[in-house]
Amino acid sequence: MTSECYPLVKTGGLADVAGALPLALQPLGVDTKVLLPAYPGVRDQLTGARKLATLPDLFGGPGGLVSGTTADGLHVLLVDAPHLFARKTGGPYLGPDGLDWPDNHLRFAALSWVGAQIALGEVGTWRPDVVHLHDWQTALTAAYLHTAKAPAPPSLLTIHNLAFQGVFPMALADTLRLPKTAFDYDGLEYWGNLSFLKAGVQWCDRLTTVSPTYAREILTHDQGMGFDGLLRARANTLTGIVNGIDEAVWNPATDPYLASPYSARRLPSKAFDKAALQVELGLHVRTDVPLFCVISRLTTQKGLDLLLDAMPALHARGAQLAVLGNGDAAIQDEFMRLAETHPGQVATTIGYHEPLSHRFQAGADAIIVPSRFEPCGLTQLYGLRYGTLPVVARVGGLADTVIDANEAALRDGVATGFQFSPVDAVQLGMAIDRACTLFADTLAWQRVQKRAMTREVGWGIAAGAYLDQYERLISRR
Ligand code: ADP
Ligand code: GLC
């Protein structure tokens, strides 16, 4: 169950995972169905879409359950509730004013409630052996299953980002179709409010998050974001599994968005993508300076204010920067201003552009991910696959997926990028400087690129690890 799923609807990495993991599980013999809201345009992307059930009272209006299949063969179930999801403007979470939809508690309670009804055999004819929840938007399912009278299948919650907790005023409790006891201290109650995520953390049979390092970090007071006590109490059910990437979508040899396909064996062709991107963005067409890129939500999490402060290090080496992102207005403005004051050297694109993000990955030499915290991170994995060396903060999944090009790692041929710690502008500047120095040594840079491109980043390992979780849950019953 998920609130977004590539290619149907995407705002970030959750969609990539929700779209790719079920496909990776299929060859392992797992029959999956992905339940998500019928946002505008989603149903039209499915083949064989048909209504499975009518749901007359779906938190304020009539709705239904629709099933269909994506072009990739993903089996999808949609919660069709026009009063909650069919909005002409805005996105999955935010209205056109950039603020949360005021009825998000009802929207995601409805999604969670339908999931629970399917799992309990009350809606449709298919019942899952395991219910897999992703993030707070589906976590309330755990509360519906926990308080149900009928026996419920086991459940697993994957936490993609502990910063998003689905917190609402306790006064809304009456609207959620749960018994009063569900809002006690050992239920949804969360520092005086109620939290959807807490239902999942409290009542799911197992918990996972998207990297081993993040799994350790969230048990600490500093990074537990208010949940560390509860997570420590459930630590024996918590596992960190690093995300994979969809290698059919992210493959420089077959990527339809690129000017020139390439691979580890045909690395020189990447230069055409660099030149094409420089032309597209109005940067000086130069091969002799490194082109760094950023593809990101522009929020405090992602640490891009640190990059603004570290720009002197980048300018000092004559390097170029291309930014693609959207988010906080203040950060957007700063990067726009940077591009205006450094024409030909810095280019900023504000907005969300899937094809352009592929051309960034192919055309840039390195990708900067200076996150203050990062549960897994996918753009550094795409960077590895595209030979676009990641420059990353040593936190969460970034720490687990990039091997720093220090002297020993270079000598042993295992380096795949650059890490910095502590996460501040000085250390980021030094990492950028190290990247520029390595870039100047073409052969050494290419060795690291080839190593990065051949590193295993697909879903194979993670899909096996999730299957292991499912099997443990089933065998316990
Ligand atoms: P998060 O989910 O925290 O935003 P991830 O690194 O896990 O971070 O995933 C981000 C995903 O969103 C990646 O697929 C990335 O390419 C994509 N993305 C982020 N910003 C943009 C943008 N402005 N345009 C296109 N794709 C973007
Ligand atoms: C979240 C995290 C990100 C992770 C993604 C997919 O959005 O912020 O680190 O890669 O989920 O798991």
Q: Cα–Cα distance between 157 and 427 in angstroms, integer?
A: 35
The four Cα atoms 94, 99, 101, 102 give a dihedral, to 10 degrees, of 170
Task: Please provide the CATH number assigned to the domain covering 13-244+460-476.
Answer: 3.40.50.2000
Average pLDDT over residues 12-19: 97
Task: Take atom 5 of ligand 2 and give the residue whose Cα is closest.
Answer: 13
Q: Is 13 in the pocket of ligand 1 (CB under 6 A)?
A: yes
- Give the amino acid at 452: A
- CATH C-level class of 267-453: alpha beta
Specify which residues 132 forms β-bridges with.
Answer: 156
- Rounded to the nearest integer, the mean pLDDT of the chain is 97
Check residue 203 and give its pLDDT.
98
Pair type for strands 291-298 and 193-195 = unpaired
pLDDT tens digits along 81-112: 999 999 999 999 999 999 999 999 999 999 99
Check residue 107 and give its pLDDT.
98
| The residue to which tokens 């496909």 are assigned | 23
Q: Cα–Cα distance between 28 and 461 in angstroms, integer?
A: 12
Ligand 1 pocket: which of 352, 374, 382, 388 to mutate (most atoms within 8 A of CB) = 352
Average pLDDT over residues 251-266: 98
Ligand 1 pocket: which of 357, 369, 388 to mutate (most atoms within 8 A of CB) = 357
Q: Is 114 in the pocket of ligand 2 (CB under 6 A)?
A: no
Task: Take atom 9 of ligand 1 and give the residue whose Cα is closest.
Answer: 13
Which ligand has the shortest distance to the CA of 158?
2
Q: Is 19 in the pocket of ligand 2 (CB under 6 A)?
A: no
pLDDT tens digits along 329-359: 999 999 999 999 999 999 999 999 999 999 9
Q: What contacts 391, CB < 8 A, 6 or more positions away?
A: 292, 366, 367, 368, 369, 370, 417, 418, 420, 428, 431, 432, 435
Domain with CATH 3.40.50.2000 in the chain: 13-244+460-476, 267-453
The 3-state secondary structure of the chain, one letter per residue: CCCCECCCECCCHHHHHHHHHHHHHHHHCCCCCEEEECCCCCHHHCEEEEEEEEECCCCCCCEEEEEEECCCCCEEEEEECHHHHCCCCCCCCECCCCCECCCHHHHHHHHHHHHHHHHCCCCCCCCCCCEEEECHHHHCHHHHHHCCCCCCCCEEEEECCCCCCCEECHHHHHHHCCCHHHHCCCCCEECCEEEHHHHHHHHCCEEEECCHHHHHHCCCCCCCCCCHHHHHHCHHHEEECCCCCCCCCCCCCCCCCCCCCCCCCCHHHHHHHHHHHHHHHCCCCCCCCCEEEEEEEECHHHCHHHHHHHHHHHHHCCCEEEEEEEECHHHHHHHHHHHHHCCCCEEEEECCCHHHHHHHHHHCCEEEECCCCCCCCCHHHHHHHCCCEEEEECCHHHHHHCCECCHHHHHHCCCCEEEECCCCHHHHHHHHHHHHHHHHCHHHHHHHHHHHHHCCCCCHHHHHHHHHHHHHHHHHC
pLDDT tens digits along 27-45: 999 999 999 999 999 999 9
**Six-digit token pair at 29?**
């013999």
Task: Take atom 10 of ligand 2 and give the residue whose Cα is closest.
Answer: 377
Rg (CA), the chain: 23
**Six-digit token pair at 390?**
């990641």
The pLDDT of residue 146 is above 80? yes
How many other CB atoms sit within 10 Å of the CB of residue 170?
13
Q: What percent of the chain has pLDDT over 70?
A: 100
pLDDT band for position 383 (50/70/90)? very high
Check residue 476 and give its pLDDT.
77
Q: What contacts 159, CB < 8 A, 6 or more positions away?
A: 135, 197, 200, 201, 207, 208, 209, 210, 218, 375
pTM higher than 0.95: yes
Q: Cα–Cα distance between 370 and 133 in angstroms, integer?
A: 28
Question: 35, 182 in Cβ contact below 8 A?
Answer: no
Q: Is 353 in the pocket of ligand 1 (CB under 6 A)?
A: yes
Average pLDDT over residues 376-396: 98
The pLDDT of residue 477 is above 90? no
Å from CA of 12 to ligand 2 middle: 7
pLDDT tens digits along 220-254: 999 999 999 999 999 999 999 999 999 999 999 99
